[in-house]
Amino acid sequence: MEELWVFIEQDEGEVEESSLEVLSKARELGDKYGFEVVAIFLGDGVKNKAEEVGKHGASKVLVVDNPNLRHYNSELYSKVMEKLIMKYNPNTVLFSATRNGRDLAGRIAVKFKSGLLAHVISLDFDESKDLVGKVPGFGGNIAAVVKCIESRPQLATVTPGVFEIKEYKSTFEVIEEDLGVELEPKNIKILSKEKGEYIDISKSEKVVVAGMGTGGRMDLVEELAKLLGADVGVTRPLADIGVAPRDIQIGSTGVTLKSKLALILGASGAPHFTSGIKDCGLVITVNKDPEAPIKEYSDYLVVGDIFEIIPRLVKLLRGEENA
């Protein structure tokens, strides 16, 4: 039986939930097309986490356990993945389109001269078991249907938030793999790593989204979000200029939101951004331009100066007088 692999991203043993989204979708495809679904789990002490991974659709969890794999390292992770692929020869390998997932998938594609579908928002196979996906194009205005041909393994990175995490009751096998390769980074050594302040906003129920109209004043945005009990996201231009990490970038090349509430501040409504909010429940927008394209994607549009409205909202939420 041909194998369909899913790379499970982790850091210090904490599994990236978007990897479980991909694994759940892989199980659906495996049942439909007759693939054996295998989760590839690299890290330090991750064997103890294998059950958490396996219940989301894997028939096998292939574990490589080493202290130097505790954090993602391009050199080491690509070396391990190359050895595993050469040994088992999977049909397809799927990754979540996180920074690490994109980095690793690109390296594997170059090594094996494989086709890579990047940032797909849907997955399927054709009658020849060629991987087929939809990739947003022209700023999200269209979704191009693309597929891998001839080369194996086929590769794809999947936009976080497009698939649901599911649990399966079927049994799975945990396999510890000893590749006999040197896993000591040549040029760097990670001494410590601090946890980021931002979470996976594709799972958030409420999100305050900052656009360029905020002038990059993340302090104001974060204060408002805290009072609303919401998480923070940004449009791509703010991530491009470095005022916020790519982890919280929303849109066709970032995260897709499924929140019950999205409060959009100062975003014009470019198609590559609005593709990331189409699944939100209630969208409220604040913009000084009453005819901004974001209007078409909003349930409510508040027209006004953000730098007057946000401080006023903050005061009201604090219960201060004369707000």
Best-predicted range by mean pLDDT (71-75, 184-188, 189-193, 251-255):
71-75
**Dihedral, 39, 45, 51, 57 alpha carbons, nearest 10:** -10
- Residue with the two structure tokens 């690109």: 106
CATH architecture classification, 201-318: 3-Layer(aba) Sandwich (3.40)
Residue 188 pLDDT level (bands cut at 50, 70, 90): very low
Strand stretches in the chain, DSSP E:
3-8, 10-11, 14-15, 36-43, 60-65, 92-96, 116-120, 122-125, 131-137, 142-147, 154-158, 173-176, 206-210, 231-234, 261-265, 282-287, 300-303
Q: Give, as one character, the DSSP assignment of residue 242.
A: T
Q: What is the pLDDT of residues 120-158, one digit of tens each?
A: 989 999 988 999 998 876 555 677 888 888 788 999 999
Segments making up each domain of the chain, as ranges: 3-176, 201-318
Instruction: Determine the CATH number of domain 3-176.
Output: 3.40.50.620
Phi first, then psi, for residue 255 (nearest 5°) are -95, 145
CA of residue 101 relative to chain centroid, distance: 8
Contact 41, 53 (CB under 8 A): yes
Same fold, 3-176 and 201-318: yes
With a cut of 50, say whether residue 194 has pLDDT above it: no
- Classify 288 as helix, strand or coil: coil
Express as a percent the part of the chain with pLDDT over 90: 55
Query: How far apart (Å, rounded) are the C-alpha atoms in residues 215 and 237?
Result: 11
Structure tokens at 271: 């198609």
Lowest mean pLDDT among 17-31, 100-114, 230-244: 230-244
